Amino acid sequence: MGGRIAIIGAGFSGTVVAANLLRRPPAGVSEILLIERAADIGRGAAYAVHAFPYLLNVPASRLSADSGRPLQFLDFARRSLPDAGPEDFLPRQLYGDYLQEFLTEAERAATHGTRLTRVRAEVTTLSHRRQADAIVVELAGREPLTARWVILATGTPPATTPVWASGVREHPAYRDDPFDLPADLGSAQVVLVIGNGLTMVDVAYQLTHDGARAPRLVTISRRGLTPLPQSEFHGSAVEGGGEFLKRVTTVRELMSATRALAREVQAHGGDWREVVTFVRNHAPEIWHRLPEVERRRFVRHVQSYWDVHRHRLPLRLNAHLDALRLMGRLEVRAGRIERAEPVGPRLQVTWRNRGTGREERLIADAVINATGPDYVLRRSRNPLLRSLWTAGLIRADALELGLVTTAEHACVGRDGSVNDRLFYLGPMLRASHWEATAAAELRNHAERLTRHLGEVASRFLHQRSDALQQPFDVAGAAVQGNARPQ
């Protein structure tokens, strides 16, 4: 087997950690396996090639995959878009092109005898072969592979099918995939979009960019909150080390301190977005400090409001939604859907209005599930994660926000044991860090994981060297790391 690391998933996280490992390969590692079930390795679902030009919701200047070169993506974009500015929101497909080049450049620059092997396959499960001191990576329809360490980088999980939609999931008017939209919708049709976040905006923009043929849209979410607009602001405008946040131990204190800082910043001509960015940068340490009861309070009462302030819209998309509302082509509702029933080729959806408590009905030509990622591990639609969860090799946190990992990104099993051969990198780190979805955050996690694997590999080689000098066989012994659950 040699020294081999297997990375499962070739979206942003998998691609970036693979590039980092190629640039700084751990001692004794000769091969990086990058395993992806999709055809387009190194791009991921978020930046896949679509006929419709979806836009990034982060400015180009904040999307570098290399912390040492903060404008790398902008420089790449200017090769094909010379007028691209640092605050521009560029096509997602272009970012996928950038990630593929980022990986290819790292592969070309690798000078330590470490090679990258791209494997197109679906991983079904993992097992530990103690005799060979390896993890066996089982693949659908082909021979298994072995690796000394495995990194789960399975990406952002898809939305779950709502309970009320289970009976109409196969109906032609219902779509679970918000990127697979009906092509024959026109101005006479009504489309119901479930969810009011960024995924809803993607759906709305695709269906209505041709104003003459745009259907009428109705959107429903529990609170009826939509993302707020982005603006040009200085992310470092709020200075200091967050001393006032270090005293926060309750959600009430956090909200009070954040509002006070926002008022102060705006009184001096600043932008509230500066405060959101400032708090976001301190979110992991705040999250670690909050007791579980306060975390639950945040998820229940504050998360929806945080999300619309944190995940903002490019001004172009925000203006488009405003225009749709003024024309009466977009209605945003707040409430809870109770059931959906077929009415010929259409669906009748019954929902309860949040404000009045009244039951209302809507007959729609299409119903689109745009509820966004579902991070609840026990109902994951990823076969590998479901397999590992069933086997007890990974576990969810108490709030079911993601995976329990150590400070070094090692997975923690159901029994609390740390698996120092299995690591996770991706948005489900939010269980421990809360904010772990943006490119810059995941990039930093990838760089930290690369450094840690370098330390682990050095210890492994040292222990192997010691074992060769012992009079008894310890070849199958597990490596003992310094990982600690968070």
Same domain, 114 and 140: yes
Q: What is the pLDDT of residue 118?
A: 96
* Residue 286 domain boundaries: 243-310
Contacts of 391 (CB under 8 A, 6+ apart): 125
> How distant, in Å, are the alpha carbons of 92, 206, 388 from that of 380?
25, 27, 11
d(CA 167, CA 59): 41
Same domain, 257 and 138: no
* 130 and 263 inside one domain: no
Task: State whether 330 and 184 are in the same domain.
Answer: yes
> Considering the domain boundaries, does residue 479 fall inside one?
no
pLDDT tens-digit map of 47-71: 888 878 889 999 999 999 999 999 9
Nearest Cα to Cα of residue 395 among 413, 375, 383, 419: 413
The CA-to-CA distance between both ends of the chain, in Å, stands at 32
What's the mean pLDDT when you consider all of the chain? 89
Number of domains in the chain: 3
CATH of the domain at 219: 3.50.50.60
Average pLDDT of the residues in 2-18: 93
The torsion angles phi and psi of 40, rounded to 5 degrees, stand at -95, 85
Helix (H/G/I), strand (E/B), else coil: 382? coil
> Beta-strand (E) ranges in 303-345?
330-343
- What is the rounded CA–CA span in Å between residue 54 and residue 98? 16
> For the chain, what percent of residues have pLDDT higher than 90?
73
> φ and ψ at 244, to 5 degrees?
-70, -25
pLDDT given at position 36: 95
CA distance 411 to 55: 33
- State the DSSP H helix or E strand holding residue 441, giving kind and residue range, or none if neither: helix 439-468
- Are 271 and 396 in the same domain? no
Residues 144 and 7 in one domain: yes
125-139, 196-210, 377-391, 395-409: which range is least confident on average?
125-139
Using one digit for the tens of pLDDT, what is the confidence trace for 318-364? Answer: 999 999 999 999 999 999 999 999 999 999 999 999 989 999 999 99
The pTM (predicted TM-score) of the whole model is 0.90
Is the per-residue pLDDT at 477 higher than 70? no
Contact between residue 121 and residue 136 where contact means Cβ atoms under 8 Å apart: no
Q: Could you tell me which of 335, 389, 347 has the C-alpha nearest to residue 157?
A: 389
Region 222-229 average pLDDT: 95
- What's the pLDDT at 231? 84
Considering the domain architecture, whether residues 220 and 354 belong to the same structural domain is answered as yes
Query: Residue 242: left if φ>0, alpha if ψ -120 to 50, beta else—which one?
Result: left
Query: In the structure, what pLDDT confidence band is assigned to residue 468 with cuts at 50, 70 and 90?
Result: very low
**What's the pLDDT band for 133 if we cut at 50, 70, 90?**
confident
Average pLDDT over residues 372-396: 93
Taking the C-alpha atoms of residue 299 and residue 277, their distance in angstroms, rounded to an integer, is 19
The confidence score (pLDDT) of residue 242 equals 63
CB 248 within 8 A of CB 355: no
pLDDT in tens, 103-116: 999 999 987 789 99
Tell me whether strands 134-139 and 123-129 are parallel, antiparallel or unpaired: antiparallel
**Alpha-carbon gap, residue 282 to 28, rounded angstroms:** 36
Rounded to 5 degrees, φ, ψ at 398 are -60, -30
> Cα–Cα–Cα angle for 40, 210, 162, nearest 5°?
60
Asked if 293 and 416 sit in the same domain, the reply is: no
- Assess whether 168 and 300 both reside in one domain: no
User: In this structure, which long-range contacts are made by residues 203-208, counting pairs with CB atoms below 8 Å and at least 24 apart in sequence?
Assistant: 203/178, 203/368, 203/370, 204/320, 204/321, 204/324, 204/330, 205/54, 205/317, 205/320, 206/52, 206/54, 206/181, 207/181, 208/320, 208/324, 208/329, 208/330
Structural domain includes residue 12: yes
What's the CA gap between 18 and 42, in Å, rounded? 10
- Count how many Cα atoms sit within 13 Å of the Cα of residue 52 in the half-sphere of its side chain: 17
Q: pLDDT category, 447, cuts 50, 70, 90?
A: very high
For strands 123-129 and 115-120, give the pairing.
unpaired
Is 84 a domain residue? Answer: no
DSSP SS3 for 109? helix
Is residue 362 located within the same domain as residue 379? no
pLDDT-derived band at 476 (thresholds 50, 70, 90) equals very low
Separation between Cα atoms, residue 11 and residue 101, nearest integer Å: 13
Residue 470: CA count within 13 A, CB half-sphere: 10
How is residue 159 annotated by DSSP? P
Task: Give the confidence band of 209 by pLDDT, cuts at 50, 70, 90.
Answer: confident
Residue 477 located in a structural domain: no
> What is the predicted pLDDT for the residue at 46?
83
Residue 339's nearest CA partner among 348, 330, 331, 326 is 348
Residue 235 belongs to a domain:
no
Q: Is 249 among the domain residues? A: yes
Answer yes or no: do 220 and 361 share one domain. yes
CB 341 within 8 A of CB 347: yes
User: Is residue 247 pLDDT above 90, yes or no?
Assistant: no
- φ, ψ of residue 346 in degrees (nearest 5): -115, 175
Rg (CA), the chain: 24
67 within a domain of the structure (yes/no): no
Q: Indicate whether 345 and 363 sit together in one domain.
A: yes
Q: Lowest mean pLDDT: which of 137-146, 233-242, 387-396, 397-406?
A: 233-242
Q: What is the pLDDT of residue 232?
A: 76
Task: Please determine, for residue 403, whether its predicted confidence score (pLDDT) is greater than 60.
Answer: yes
- The pLDDT value recorded for residue 457 is 85
Reference 434, options 270, 273, 302; nearest CA is 302
Res 473: pLDDT: 35
pLDDT in tens, 413-443: 999 999 999 999 999 999 999 989 889 999 9
389 occurs within a structural domain: yes
DSSP classification of residue 376 = -
